[in-house]
């Protein structure tokens, strides 16, 4: 997910501020099958969900998330819950569907529950006209809006395989996660389309889109088809703009690890976000298509999520930087690959400015376990600051070890879940270094170094002396600081010094008299401040 298009304030939420998500450790969803029927005369959807659950403990009831009908009549109504062809009892209130088992489950038992339900979704499934006046239906689950139209465990820790069976008016095309395995004209009006995703994915990136589309195969990388799905009126611009996704996929596929899904569709849609990284079917805002090819960074961000977020997923919302920080930095890494290192520097400078501004308003750390409203996990901290921390980690470790660590982290946690410490342990394993101080100061504490310093040069000793202060409140940071000194006639030298305390006095041998000293000349440190001649 890249950009907010609508203020979260307007989104219905189920009151997480007072009711943090309680996960049920006794159940693990293995697979969802959603058979949904949509039509052109009403916004009513009706369907059957088959939810296959493995029981990790013996229990007699469990909850799924499913929005209840509100006073305006928006929301879902359940008409039956079945197990092995028999109705079983359930309660549906306060956005929870509580399913009662006739007998306690056995440990490791796997059962498939069938839920018959329907209604008009309040959110999570956007039904309406696009900018050309054409009707369409677009899933938009991120972060926990899936339960407005699907009975699910609406939390990224419980990933599952998903099949969508969509019955829709036959003039629509259907796109979803996974591979299309069936398309059947049922009668003169309706068509059935079936998609199956065999990799377990979080609900936040499960999706279906039903609309009139122009569809093009933009390219193939290592057997993976990359498709563009755009509004027919935008065909020329859309096919051109989305084609860049082929080079992006190729770069990540070669540098991170094998692309996790069987196809990638890039879809023009009614998502409220600038882009939403739905697994194998990225949805972009409809105005992302303009024929100018100026959304490369957005496309790279959403594609990076296929590895980080969709395949290697954060195990809890407080660690969402494992999605968003990675996607932010990997988009910048793609831009560096495509346009050169100066482009990366430009992006990092812009991001740094944002991080510094954001800190003035909100001094929280990247991993902020005090947050109970999950809508607030989206921030400059989890995007740009976390991206910056990856950038600094790369500088500390060097490119070879950085990439080795990234590849090993992905290989270990692909199709699985991880927390920040899991990532740290992999990076420690690869480097043989204790990275706990680095992770603690950058991910688990707020802020960044604010530096102020003076320098002087002794011609007789040929020594450059620097006095550098960290002026922020404690704690003080430990970091390598690059310094560049430049002479009047253009001689240049870069040195790296280690800063570990509030005050550092450093003396360097310098063969020529500097006219200027620059802190962090190559943009590798998240900091603010400067150094002046004494």
The residues binding Zn ion (CB under 5 A) are 1, 324, 327
d(CA 98, CA 83) in angstroms, rounded, equals 14
Tokens of 133: 């006046």
Of the pair 144, 324, the CB lying nearest Zn ion is at: 324
Hey, CA dihedral for 51, 128, 377, 259, is it positive or negative? positive
Of the pair 165, 265, the CB lying nearest Zn ion is at: 265
d(CA 442, CA 367) in angstroms, rounded, equals 9
Of the pair 327, 366, the CB lying nearest Zn ion is at: 327
Of the pair 203, 327, the CB lying nearest Zn ion is at: 327
Tokens of 395: 């500088």
CB of 4 to Zn ion, least distance (A): 11
Report the Cα 158 to chain-centroid distance in Å. Answer: 16
CB of 203 to Zn ion, least distance (A): 16
CB of 314 to Zn ion, least distance (A): 12
* DSSP code, position 329: H
Phi-psi category of residue 523: left, alpha or beta, with phi > 0 → left and psi -120 to 50 → alpha: left
The residue at minimum Cβ distance from Zn ion is 1
CB of 248 to Zn ion, least distance (A): 14
Instruction: Enumerate residues 6+ apart whose C-beta is below 8 A from 413.
Output: 312, 422
Of the pair 244, 306, the CB lying nearest Zn ion is at: 306
CB of 324 to Zn ion, least distance (A): 5
CB of 180 to Zn ion, least distance (A): 26
> Measuring CA to CA, which residue among 339, 241, 269 is closest to residue 127?
269
CB of 301 to Zn ion, least distance (A): 6
Block residue for tokens 């996704």? 245
Cβ 441 vs Cβ 475: under 8 Å:
yes
CB of 264 to Zn ion, least distance (A): 16
Of the pair 121, 274, the CB lying nearest Zn ion is at: 274
Q: β-pairing, 450-458 with 528-533?
A: parallel
Of the pair 227, 324, the CB lying nearest Zn ion is at: 324
d(CA 246, CA 234) in angstroms, rounded, equals 19
Of the pair 309, 447, the CB lying nearest Zn ion is at: 309
Q: What does R_g of the chain's alpha carbons equal in angstroms?
A: 26
Q: What are phi and psi of 532, to 5 degrees?
A: -125, 160
Rounded (10°) angle between helices 386-397 and 341-361: 130
């Amino acid at each position: 997910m890249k950009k907010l298009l609508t203020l979260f304030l307007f989104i219905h939420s189920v009151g997480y501020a007072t009711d943090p998500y309680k996960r049920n450790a006794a159940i693990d969803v293995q697979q969802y099958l959603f058979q949904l029927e949509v039509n052109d005369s009403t916004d009513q959807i009706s369907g059957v969900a088959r939810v296959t659950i493995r029981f990790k403990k013996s229990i007699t009831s469990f909850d799924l998330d499913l929005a209840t009908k509100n006073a305006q009549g928006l929301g879902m109504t359940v008409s039956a819950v079945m197990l092995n062809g028999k109705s079983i009892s359930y309660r549906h209130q306060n956005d929870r569907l509580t399913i009662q088992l006739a007998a306690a489950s056995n440990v490791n038992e796997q059962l498939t529950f069938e839920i018959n339900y329907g209604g008009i979704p309040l959110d999570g499934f956007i039904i309406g006209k696009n900018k050309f006046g054409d009707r369409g239906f677009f899933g938009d689950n991120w972060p926990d809006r899936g339960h407005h139209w699907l009975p699910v465990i609406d939390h990224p820790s419980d990933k599952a395989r998903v099949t969508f069976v969509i019955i829709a008016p036959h003039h629509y095309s259907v796109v979803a996660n996974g591979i299309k395995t069936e398309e059947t004209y049922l009668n003169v009006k309706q068509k059935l389309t079936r998609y199956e995703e065999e990799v377990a994915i979080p609900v936040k990136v499960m999706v279906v889109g039903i609309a009139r589309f122009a569809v093009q195969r933009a390219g193939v990388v290592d057997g993976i088809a990359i498709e563009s799905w755009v509004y027919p009126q935008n065909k020329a611009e859309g096919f051109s703009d989305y084609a860049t996704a082929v080079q992006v996929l190729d770069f990540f596929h070669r540098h991170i690890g094998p692309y996790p899904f069987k196809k990638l569709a890039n879809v023009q849609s009614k998502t409220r976000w600038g882009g939403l990284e739905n697994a194998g079917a990225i949805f972009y805002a409809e105005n992302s298509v303009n024929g100018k090819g100026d959304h490369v960074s957005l496309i790279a961000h959403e594609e990076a999520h296929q590895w980080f977020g969709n395949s290697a997923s954060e195990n809890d919302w407080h660690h969402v930087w494992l999605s968003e920080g990675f996607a932010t930095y990997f988009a910048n890494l793609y831009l560096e690959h495509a346009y050169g290192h100066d482009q990366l520097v430009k992006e990092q400078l812009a991001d740094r400015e944002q991080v510094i501004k954001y800190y003035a308003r909100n001094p929280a750390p990247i991993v902020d376990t005090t947050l109970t409203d999950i809508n607030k996990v989206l921030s400059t901290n989890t995007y740009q600051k976390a991206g910056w921390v990856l950038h600094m980690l790369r500088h500390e470790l060097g490119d070879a070890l950085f990439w080795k660590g990234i590849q090993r982290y992905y290989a270990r946690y692909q199709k699985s879940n991880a927390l920040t410490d899991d990532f740290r342990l992999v990076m420690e394993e690869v480097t043989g270094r204790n990275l706990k101080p680095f992770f603690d100061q950058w991910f688990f504490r707020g802020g960044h170094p604010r530096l102020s310093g003076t320098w002087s040069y002794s011609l007789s000793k040929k020594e450059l002396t620097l006095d550098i202060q960290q002026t922020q409140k404690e704690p003080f940071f430990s970091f390598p600081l690059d310094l560049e000194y430049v002479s009047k006639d253009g001689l240049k030298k870069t040195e790296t010094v280690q800063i570990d305390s509030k005050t550092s006095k450093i003396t360097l041998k310098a063969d020529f008299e500097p006219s200027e000293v620059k802190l962090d000349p190559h943009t590798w440190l998240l900091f603010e401040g400067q150094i002046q001649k004494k």
